[in-house]
Amino acid sequence: MLKEMKDIIVLENVAKYYHMGNSIIRAVDGVSLKIRSGEFVAIMGPSGSGKSTMMNLVGSLDIPTKGSIFLDGHNISHLEESELAQIRGRKIGFVFQQFNLIPNLTAKENVILPMIFQGVNVFEREKKAEELLKLVELEERMEHYPSELSGGEQQRVAIARALSNNPEVILADEPTGNLDTKTGEKVMAFFNKLHKQGKTIVIVTHDPKLALEHANITYWIKDGKLEKTTKKKT
């Protein structure tokens, strides 16, 4: 029996404008899209297309100038930052291109950190962090600091950290952008494994090969607008 798919993230006519002097920058301009549970989605576009702003909106890191964003059925478009942080902390795990690991924390401590903010008890978060670092094949590197890890290892710590609160959605910004080809393939293999386990994966990328090889559905962004949508042939 197939698991019923639900709309997990919905954007309805969403726009994000920025004022620069007397000019208005329409970074995202009237985009509507749906991301359903269990999908592998790519948001694709060249530099300056608005895809980074799209990532911030899809990930509830920013609120729209106009339009509505629904996360798991709840309209989050006008929430205070403290409320938004709690919701996205439970629902979305982030993997950033620059890894964003805290340099004076070990790999294990970096994975533990999001669980502290969600009130997970000490025993549970220690156990979960160790399990996740084993999942990404870093059990021998738990007590190492980011500066002692390779780029690929840091990205795998970031994946483990993204999974720490068991979110429904993993959102990755240019997940292979700072990695060599072989390491990038290994990182993408982890995303594919998570997808097969039922996670919703959203990658933001400028690399068509990455989008077309891995995503079931790709949203192509150009000049802040949704240019087209393509689906992978099964």
Q: What is the CATH number of the domain that holds 204?
A: 3.40.50.300
Whether 69 maps to a domain, the answer reads no
The rounded distance, in Å, linking the Cα atoms of 108 and 46 is: 35
pTM for the model:
0.89
Q: What are phi and psi of 125, to 5 degrees?
A: -70, -35
pLDDT above 60 (res 102): yes
Cβ proximity of 215 and 205 under 8 Å: no
In 3D space, the residue among 174, 155, 162 whose CA is nearest the CA of residue 90 turns out to be 162
Nearest 10 degrees: Cα torsion 47, 49, 52, 58: -150
pLDDT in tens, 3-45: 567 999 999 999 999 998 889 999 999 999 999 999 999 999 9
Nearest 10 degrees: Cα torsion 19, 17, 72, 40: -120
Please give the share of the chain, as a percent, with pLDDT higher than 90. 65
The rounded distance, in Å, linking the Cα atoms of 99 and 88 is: 18
Whether 193 maps to a domain, the answer reads yes
pLDDT above 60 (res 1): no
| Structural domains of the chain, count | 1
Q: What are phi and psi of 13, to 5 degrees?
A: 50, 50
Whether 29 maps to a domain, the answer reads no
| Sequence-separated contacts (24+) of 115-118 with Cβ below 8 Å | 115/164, 115/165, 117/85, 117/89, 118/89, 118/90, 118/165
pLDDT at 234: 64
pLDDT at 4: 64
How many other CB atoms are found less than 10 A from the CB of residue 213? 13
Look over the chain and give the mean of its residue pLDDT values, rounded to a whole number. Answer: 91
pLDDT above 80 (res 2): no
Whether 12 maps to a domain, the answer reads no
Cβ proximity of 202 and 169 under 8 Å: yes
Mean pLDDT in residue range 90-100: 88
Whether 4 maps to a domain, the answer reads no
Mean pLDDT in residue range 215-222: 94
* Residue 207 lies in domain: 39-63+80-231
pLDDT in tens, 107-161: 999 999 999 988 899 999 999 999 999 989 999 999 999 999 999 999 999 999 9
Mean pLDDT in residue range 187-195: 91
pLDDT above 70 (res 174): yes
How many other CB atoms are found less than 10 A from the CB of residue 169? 25
Residue listed under structure tokens 């070990």: 106
